[in-house]
Amino acid sequence: MSVIEVSGLTKRFGPVLAVDQLSFAVEPGEVVGFLGANGAGKTTTLRMLLGLVRPDAGTATINGHAYADLPEPLHQVGAVLEASSFHPGRTARNHLRVQALAGQADPSRVDGVLELTGLTGAADRRVGGFSLGMRQRLGLATALLTDPDLLILDEPANGLDPDGVQWLRDLLRGLAAGGATVLVSSHILAEVAQTVDSVVILDRGRLVAQSSLADLTAGAGNLEDAFFKLTREAFR
Amino acid sequence: MNSFHPPRTVHVLFGAISTDEKGSLTRLIRAELLKLRTTRLSYGLLATAAGLTALFSVLEASRAGSGKAVAPLYTAAGFNAVITGGVWALLLATVLGVTVSSGEFRHATATQTYLATPRRGRVMAAKAVAAACAGAVFGLAGYVIAAGTGLIFVAARGYHVPVGDATMARYGIGHVIAAALLAAVGVALGSLIRSQLAAVIGVFVWAVVVESLLGGLFNAIQPYLPYTAATTLAGSSLGGAAFGPAHDAATTAAPLPFAAATALIAGVAILLSVVAARTTVPRDVT
């Protein structure tokens, strides 16, 4: 069974067709890049997959269930959607304590994920004073609290410095080596090309390609060339 | 075989709840209480409630008996005016409730909250219970300060306390219940009106302007106005906590009895929660 199955997913915001009849699947253990320009519908798709936005048509399931029907959802899926969704007045440690309680995680994991994401020294500082990169790390720490088998990451490299990007790449490779499935959205193609096994490419809400990285780049040289070739073809 | 049957309103609001899910609701309430304990805003609102209660109680106690319109402290009416300072705790408990729900949208934390608990009705229920617990603390603080101020002034002037122990206890319990229920009303309001500023302004406009005007114009409905009913539950005279025309208006109406006032405010909290659960709560979180 596919870990993620998206079928005929459609969402309209007023006059804008954000996601249009989108279908794709992600298999266990894959690291999949979810690619598209800004506004291509990546974030809306991920939010529908996670039950935050209601689709107008179609379905999106994780392990065969809609997100809202997953028992203990955080134990199956860890998600990082935006780097700013923290209460600015709460410390990083207290944020993680709240999420551990709500998500039924072992509270003793809080210190572990702080260390894993390099935030131990900042644990008792209020998040309001955090840089974008530190927020990204805290978002990842939150997602990893429950040790899920599936990670859904929306532009996780945003705001990370070169060291942070390197660290994120190693983290994702480590998780993949441990058998985790990862769906990671990005518009920075060169970065994704170093991490993923396969890609799902989106353009103006529609699927333009789902393919292994090797197949995609075989005819086009590199991922960037392949991406532009495909999205330009779709435009015609 | 015995099984747990929650009241019908619980089904309407949150769907059927099994025994397992009661455990998860308890956990969610603990998470919401932890959220309240780990932000400075909660303590700031409590300090504001305590400060305003102290200020207004001391002012009322100081001017008691100073003129015809101001009853002296050895009368129940005079003592009552001092206790009325505690309504600030009720108002600020409502504001606390508003911040508990609308704060999730102000800081975009709703995303993580709903990822952990996709069943949003349950999140709202946990928030209402947690806010009510915190509201009860506000009510208790308001009562202790207002009643304490009254008792200190009474003793300093060498009077006898003009109300009995049972009445004093009723005022105390009334403060706690009224503040707890108003905090739950605040959670529902903050869910309906996601803009925190608009919801907080709405609370003050409703309590201070709308109810004062309506209560002054239509004495017959004054006891049934929810904030007014909460203040009478806390021991204030009918219209005693109002501003303008409704303040101690020459009214023939009597305040609602204790149980009826409690039921009225609980009813408002449930009604607003149902409306929010059916309209704004399921909306997209983008």
Evaluated on CA atoms A206, A208, A210, A213, the torsion sign reads: negative
Average pLDDT of the residues in B49-74:
91
Residue A188: count of CB within 10 angstroms of its CB: 12
**How far is the alpha carbon of B201 from chain A, nearest alpha carbon, in Å?**
22
**How far is the alpha carbon of B133 from chain A, nearest alpha carbon, in Å?**
18
Domains in chain A (CATH in brackets) are 1-76+182-236 (3.40.50.300)
Instruction: Report d(CA A141, CA A167) in Å as an integer.
Output: 13
Give the pair of three-digit tokens for residue A139: 């978002």
Evaluated on CA atoms B267, B271, B273, B274, the torsion sign reads: positive
Taking each helix axis as running N to C, give the angle between helix B120-156 and helix B87-106, from 0 to 180 degrees, rounded to the nearest 10.
Answer: 150
List the single residue in B with minimal CA-CA distance to A75.
B116
Contacts with B, A 90-129, CB within 8 Å: 90-91, 94, 97-99, 101-104
List the single residue in B with minimal CA-CA distance to A126.
B39
For B139, the enclosing helix (H) or strand (E) is: helix B120-156
Contacts with B, A 54-83, CB within 8 Å: 54, 67-68, 70, 73-74, 77, 79, 81-82
Q: Please write the tens of the pLDDT for every residue from A20-36.
A: 999 999 999 999 999 99
Asked if A90's CB is within 8 angstroms of B286's CB, the reply is no
**How far is the alpha carbon of A140 from chain B, nearest alpha carbon, in Å?**
12
List the single residue in B with minimal CA-CA distance to A67.
B118
Every domain of chain B and the residues it spans:
29-278
Q: What is the pLDDT of residue A14?
A: 92
How many residues are present in chain A? 236
Whether B9 shows a pLDDT value over 90: the answer reads: no
Q: Please write the tens of the pLDDT for every residue from B174-219.
A: 999 999 999 999 999 999 998 999 999 999 999 999 998 998 888 8
The highest-confidence range among B20-34, B134-148, B244-258, by mean pLDDT, is: B134-148
Instruction: Report d(CA B165, CA B209) in Å as an integer.
Output: 34
Task: Calculate the dihedral angle through the C-alpha atoms of B172, B178, B181, B183, rounding to the nearest 10 degrees.
Answer: -90
Q: In angstroms, what CA-CA distances link B135 with A85, B81, B100, B229?
A: 26, 22, 11, 16
Q: Please write the tens of the pLDDT for every residue from A88-102.
A: 999 999 999 999 999
Task: Calculate the dihedral angle through the C-alpha atoms of A213, A214, A218, A220, rounding to the nearest 10 degrees.
Answer: 20
> Sorting pLDDT into bands at 50, 70 and 90, what band is B3?
very low
Asked if B119's CB is within 8 angstroms of A53's CB, the reply is no
Phi, psi of A151 (to 5 degrees): -115, 135
Asked if B40's CB is within 8 angstroms of A52's CB, the reply is no
Percent of chain B clearing pLDDT 70 (strictly above): 90
Instruction: Report d(CA B119, CA B192) in Å as an integer.
Output: 17
> Sorting pLDDT into bands at 50, 70 and 90, what band is A228?
confident
Evaluated on CA atoms A225, A174, A180, A39, the torsion sign reads: negative
DSSP state of B70: B
Instruction: Report d(CA A223, CA A226) in Å as an integer.
Output: 5
Number of A/B CB contacts below 8 angstroms equals 77
Phi, psi of A2 (to 5 degrees): -65, 145
Chain B: residues touching A (Cβ < 8 Å): 27-28, 30-31, 34-35, 38-41, 103, 107-119, 282, 284-286
In a mutational test of the A interface, the residue from B112, B280, B283 whose CB has the highest number of chain A CBs within 10 Å is: B112
Average pLDDT of the residues in A104-111:
94
Structure ipTM = 0.94
Instruction: Report d(CA A180, CA A5) in Å as an integer.
Output: 16
DSSP, collapsed to helix, strand or coil, labels residue A32 as strand
Query: What's the pTM?
Result: 0.92
Percent of chain A clearing pLDDT 90 (strictly above): 71
With beta carbons under 8 A apart, name residues in chain B contacting A101.
27, 30-31, 34
Instruction: Report d(CA B214, CA B193) in Å as an integer.
Output: 23
**How far is the alpha carbon of A221 from chain B, nearest alpha carbon, in Å?**
37
Beta strands (DSSP E) in B152-214 are none
Q: Please write the tens of the pLDDT for every residue from B211-265.
A: 989 988 888 899 999 999 999 999 998 888 887 666 766 667 889 999 999 999 9
Asked if B286's CB is within 8 angstroms of A98's CB, the reply is no
Q: Max Cα separation, chain A? A: 54
Q: What is the pLDDT of residue A235?
A: 57
Q: What is the pLDDT of residue A219?
A: 73
DSSP, collapsed to helix, strand or coil, labels residue A117 as coil
